[in-house]
């Protein structure tokens, strides 16, 4: 029986600092934060969200904080100094947290930034950190490692592969993720298109999916925030005859309806994808996932059952997997999402995590 918390918790969730919630700039964290807020409030906890000005987060009280957005960690070098712009929204968010922390039982940090980790021992209330990416910079590795020493149990991650990119991986709580599956409609009858969903940025490896579309002449539909224009231009020039269309950045309701019509989702990350929210969204619609055996997606896809795992960076691997899509039962994909990645399943895992954080903090 899952140990449930003795009483409802008052939770303050502090968002990523690279963009307003709903802008798409926060990538998977935007969806993760909203889903976690939903999973926790369904279990009777009260949730308030702190995020940059212009954020939207349906159904939850939101405190908008002004200030300069943080540069994205994946664009810094591994040895980069800690970035802290003047009037940083991150610093302003955590100044607000310090003012109100006594009204909460637990703070939850979603920013992949140095400051909230460094501040942890200076706060009177415990802070749980949901780390949203693998190891990217020495500065972040060091400050997360320090935080684990001072606050064991306080580091949550999405996958074992993501945890293993850190020297302290064994001390991280692997949480997976959770989605409101009622928002996703199972579609048994796909059309011919393949799908690719994600921020259009180099680490996501879109060009590999385009190369597979070119090789198989299957139309590829691309959804996501166009984060790196130059990168997208380069792909269009290099693969000018590939059957591909950029379909824009859609909110969940529209994305899931379009995604559900596709034969498969291609996941071709060039970095260690911490999890791969889009894999769950595809499975929830009955869409098999063809993914590189790399990072979070390799822990999600059940090879031969809910999709195919492919040798990383192998075009022939992608082409072979596309040819074997008819071996995958689309309803099995939906069932996997329901069994492991529902809000209830994630809520169980997160409550266990919070219980451990609170137990350690209160001794």
Per CB under 6 A, residues contacting ligand HBI are 16-18, 26-29, 70, 72-74, 111-113, 132-133
For ligand HBI, the closer of residues 113 and 281 by Cβ is: 113
Whichever of 27 and 347 has its CB closer to ligand HBI, that residue is 27
321-336: b (≥16 Cβ within 10 Å) or e: bbeebeebebeebbbb
Coil/strand/helix, residue 331: helix
Question: Of the two residues 116 and 288, which places its CB atom closer to ligand HBI in the complex?
Answer: 116
Please state the closest distance from residue 110 (CB atom) to ligand HBI, in A: 7
Nearer to ligand HBI, 17 or 147 (CB): 17
- Shortest Å distance, C-beta 65 to ligand HBI: 14
Buried b (16+ CB within 10 A) or exposed e, 129-156: bbbbbbbbbebbbebbeebbeebebbbb
Give dist(CA 43, CA 53) in Å, integer: 28
Asked if 52 and 89 count as a contact pair (C-beta separation under 8 A), the reply is yes
CB 73 → ligand HBI: shortest distance, Å?
A: 4
Closest residue to bound ligand HBI by CB:
27
The smaller minimum CB distance to ligand HBI, of residues 112 and 117, is found at: 112
Provide Rg for the chain, Cα atoms.
20
| Smallest distance, ligand HBI to C-beta of residue 114, A | 9
Q: Which is nearer to ligand HBI, 74 or 146 (CB)?
A: 74
Structure tokens at 267: 């996941």
Taken as a whole, the chain contains a residue count of 363
Phi and psi at residue 47, to the nearest 5° = -130, 135
Q: How far is the CB of 23 from ligand HBI (least distance, A)?
A: 10
Question: Minimum Å distance from CB 33 to ligand HBI?
Answer: 10
Q: Which lies closer to ligand HBI via its Cβ, residue 133 or residue 346?
A: 133
- CB 86 to ligand HBI: min, Å: 16
Long-range Cβ contact pairs of 230-238 (< 8 A, separation 24 or more) = 231/200, 231/201, 231/202, 231/206, 232/200, 232/206, 235/206, 235/207, 235/210, 238/207
> By the 8 A CB rule, do 301 and 325 touch?
no
């Amino acid at each position: 029986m899952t140990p449930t918390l003795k009483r409802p918790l008052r939770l303050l969730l502090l968002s990523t600092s690279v963009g307003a919630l709903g802008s798409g700039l926060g990538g998977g964290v935007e969806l993760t934060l909203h889903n976690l807020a939903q999973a926790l409030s369904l279990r009777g906890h009260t949730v308030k969200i702190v995020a940059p000005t212009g954020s939207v987060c349906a159904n939850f009280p939101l405190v908008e904080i002004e200030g300069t957005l943080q540069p994205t960690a994946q664009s810094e070098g591994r040895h980069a100094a800690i970035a802290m712009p003047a009037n940083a929204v991150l610093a302003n968010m955590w100044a607000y947290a310090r003012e109100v922390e006594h009204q909460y039982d637990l703070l939850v940090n979603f920013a992949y930034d140095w400051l909230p980790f460094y501040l942890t021992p200076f706060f009177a209330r415990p802070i749980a950190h949901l780390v949203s990416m693998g190891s990217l910079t020495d500065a972040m590795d060091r400050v997360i490692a320090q935080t684990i020493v001072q606050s064991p149990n306080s580091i949550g991650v999405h996958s074992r592969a993501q945890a293993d990119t850190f020297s302290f991986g064994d001390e991280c709580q692997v949480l997976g993720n959770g989605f409101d599956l009622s928002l996703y409609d199972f579609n048994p009858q796909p059309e011919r298109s393949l799908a690719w969903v994600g921020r259009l940025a180099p680490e996501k490896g879109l060009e590999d999916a385009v190369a597979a579309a070119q090789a198989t002449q299957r139309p590829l539909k691309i959804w996501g925030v166009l984060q790196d224009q130059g990168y997208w231009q380069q792909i269009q020039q290099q693969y000018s005859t590939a059957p591909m269309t950029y379909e824009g950045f859609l909110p969940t309701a529209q994305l899931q309806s379009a995604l559900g019509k596709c034969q498969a989702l291609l996941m071709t990350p060039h970095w260690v994808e911490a999890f791969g929210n889009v894999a769950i969204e595809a499975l929830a619609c009955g869409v098999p996932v063809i993914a590189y055996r790399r990072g979070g997606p390799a822990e999600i896809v059940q090879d031969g059952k809910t999709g195919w795992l492919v040798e990383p960076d192998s075009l022939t691997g992608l082409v072979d997997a596309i040819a074997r899509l008819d071996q995958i039962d689309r309803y099995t994909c939906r069932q996997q999402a329901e069994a492991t990645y529902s809000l209830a399943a994630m809520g169980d895992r997160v409550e266990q995590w919070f219980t451990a954080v609170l137990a350690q903090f209160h001794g």
